[in-house]
Structure 1
Amino acid sequence: MSVHLILGAGMVGTTTARHLADRGEQVRIVSRSGRGPTHPQVERIAADATDADRLASLANGVTAIYNCLNPAYHRWLTDWPPMAAALLTAAERSGAPLVIAGCLYGYGEVTDPMTEQTPLAARHPKLAMRADIWRAALAAQRAGRIRAVTEVRGSDYLQAQSIFTNVLGAPLLAGRRAFVPAPLDVPHTWTSTNDMAAMLVAAATDQRAWNRAWHTPSAPPLTIRQLATRFTDVAGAPAPKLTAIPGPIVYATGLFSPMLRELRTTAYQFARPFVMDSTAATATFGLRHQPIDAALREAVALLGGTPVGGALADQSATTA
């Protein structure tokens, strides 16, 4: 039986663990606290992601190592480098492929839809660092230090850890006005965590995916206003009431709010169309994105609401 090692028990790591476990694979999921999904195929382990020796021991004999870590944005510059280095060491000593759950930050400000060939041109230190993590891993593979590496990139998540769920979700479910620190009518790609998990597993287990980056199949772009309307529809909540917060107020509030301060760094992603092209992964692996209303029903349930339609069905990404 294959064993997969997942670092990080957030939404992406947990969803990936469940995806693998439901396929009958054995999973070790590692977090500082030892949390993770309860499943007979999942072993939850408490460990420090900067401890290279410990990670290398846990990686011994595994099919793949998944980097699903996601430190708080305001700690990226301090937390990411030692964790990325420890994971490279674990991949080197174990010989297991390293799969990185990445993002679109490394591209920096763009004007056209992003493909995997879009230059990694981010200049802000925090955003450039994500590109540097990928470059270092790819360089290690090309130097023969690690067997294989791949990065799976997704956009803002529909179910968790995004401006949508963290800022809009609760007030929309309560029928209150949502104050949004971004323009309301700019197209933006949104990614389901189920699709991210499916793409991570494909990247780990299909050698065609190795040693390059892939974009996760995602639904067609929607504006924040369109997404909020779909969200309230599936939640059976009142039509959304939205107000965009002017940029100067976001900037001033960021002096006192770490979250809003970090949003200033990525404000460009909402100021103009921010669109990800994932046709390469769809064509290569036959993956299709989860229907957006199904993903939003999950978001409703995770935020404590009751989605219209009752119990959730299996809504994972499907293979053609």
Structure 2
Amino acid sequence: MGKHVVVGSGQVGAHLARKLLARGHEVTVVTRSGSGPDGAVKVAADVADQARMIEITRGADVLYNCVNPRYHRWLTDWPPMAASFLAAAEASGAVLVILGNLYPYGPVSVPMTEDLPLASTSPKAQVRARIWQEALAAHEAGRIRATEVRGSDYYGPGASDQSYLGDRFLVPLRAGKTVPLIWPGDIKHSWTYLPDVADALVVAGSDERAWGRPWHVPTAEPLTFREMGDRMAALLGRPAPRYLRIPWPALRAAGLFSPMLGEMRHIRYQFTAPYVLDSSAFQRTFGVAPTPVGEALKTTLDV
């Protein structure tokens, strides 16, 4: 079994570390606080400290970038961390597996495939695009081996407070109360199940066919907020919930006082038109299918 270094122990990193441990691997989890699941070696470190990261990853087979600074801090926090990951991957020889996202594509009118240009004009999305572009350049130069795995908005057990289908959605739904929505409720949207993200990362780190290009996490058919909520309510034996759409001007006003809400204008396009992820390349290449939505929702709700 190999040595795997998982940087970040949030909604994806924790799932990933547990899956690697279950496969018998030696797993080191790196966070600022030194947290992580039982069975892993837990290390507290500043990810931007290149010397420290090189020390931690010595002898590693795979290095996973699962960190995610707050959205309003991407411009300042990402560049030094990305440079540190590259330095550690080059020094250790570990495969660098980057957990990416769909932001660099920008607004699109077709299902998203991995060959779409990274055409977003948003500075924050461009930061994410550069992380992959610099890793790919290092890969093509023979300095490292790298791949990137991209999913849509996450849901599932352990979803963070930033998830649109996390507690802000589930708590009122479970209580039979009105569910607040900050986006339209009837636009088709791809939702990526967290355990499927972790599974895709494991494949990307272990199968050399994955290296040197990006991949989309196996993701089920797109569904609207209303469809997801109605399915969850049915599983709980409740009638379809009521939904309350928060007006966009109210969100813009709240953004004057909340940095996170203030950033919503940059991603509004993702929820005001269909936003569909095509994961057929990963599914076809590696023979992996997304978890069916019904099964995923049962696990999410623990019913």
Q: Same fold (TM over 0.5)?
A: yes
- Structure 2 partner of 1:76: 74
Q: Does 1:153 align with 2:154?
A: no
Q: Structure 1 vs Structure 2: percent identity of aligned residues?
A: 50
Matched residues, number: 299
Which one-letter code corresponds to 1:158 in the other structure?
Y
Note the alpha carbon deviations across 1:241-286, whole angstroms, 9 max, x for none: 1122222222122112233222222111001000000000000001
Q: Which residue of 1 aligns with 2:261?
A: 260
Aligned to 1:167: 168
- Alignment of 1:55 with 2:56, yes or no, is no
What's the TM-score once normalised by structure 2's chain length? 0.95
Equivalent position of 1:37 in the other structure: 37
Q: Which residue identity is paired with 2:194?
A: T
Q: For residues 61 and 202 of structure 1, what CA distance do their matches in structure 2 show? A: 20
Aligned-pair CA distance for 1:291? 2.0
Displacement, 1:171?
1.5
1:103 pairs with 98, 101, 104, which one? 101
Structure 2 residue matching 1:164: 3-state secondary structure: coil
CA RMSD of aligned residues (A): 1.3
**Structure 2 partner of 1:19:** 19
Tell me if the contact between 2:255 and 2:262 (Cα under 8 Å) persists in the aligned partners.
Answer: yes
Aligned residue number for residue 28 of structure 1 = 28
Distance 1:166 1:269 in 2: 21
Report the equivalent of 1:200: 201
Distance in 2 (CA, whole Å) between partners of 1:178 and 1:70 is 27
Paired letter, 1:241: R
Gap regions ≥5 residues in structure 1: 301-306, 309-320
2:90 aligns with 92
Matched residues in 1 for 2:77 and 2:170: separation?
Answer: 28
Structure-1 separation of matches of 2:77 and 2:231: 36
* Secondary structure, aligned partner of 2:82: helix
The one-letter amino acid of 1:12's match is V
8 Å contact kept, 2:255–2:261: yes
SS of the residue corresponding to residue 281 of structure 1 reads helix
Gaps spanning 5+ residues in structure 2: where?
Answer: none
Give the Å deviation of 1:238.
4.5
Give the CA deviation at 1:228.
0.9
Write the mapping of 1:293-308 to structure 2, written as runs, cut at 5 A: 293-300=294-301, 307-308=302-303
Answer yes or no: is the 8 Å Cα contact 1:250–1:264 preserved in 2: no
Q: Distance in 2 between matches of 1:215 and 1:135?
A: 16
The offset of 1:235, in angstroms, is: 3.4
Distance 2:15 2:164 in 1: 20
Instruction: Give, in whole Å, the separation in 1 of the partners of 2:171 and 2:241.
Output: 11
Are 1:277 and 2:278 matched, yes or no?
Answer: yes
Measure how far apart 1:237 and its partner are.
4.3
Say whether residues 1:244 and 2:245 are aligned partners. yes
CA distance in 2, matches of 1:231, 1:245: 21
How far is 1:183 from its partner? 0.7
Aligned residue in 2 for 1:314: none
Distance in structure 1 (CA, Å) of the matches to 2:47 and 2:62:
16
**Aligned mate of 2:127, from 126, 129, 141:** 129
Q: Provide the rounded CA distance (Å) in 1 between the counterparts of 2:223 and 2:54.
A: 41
Code of the residue aligned with 1:116 in structure 2: it is E
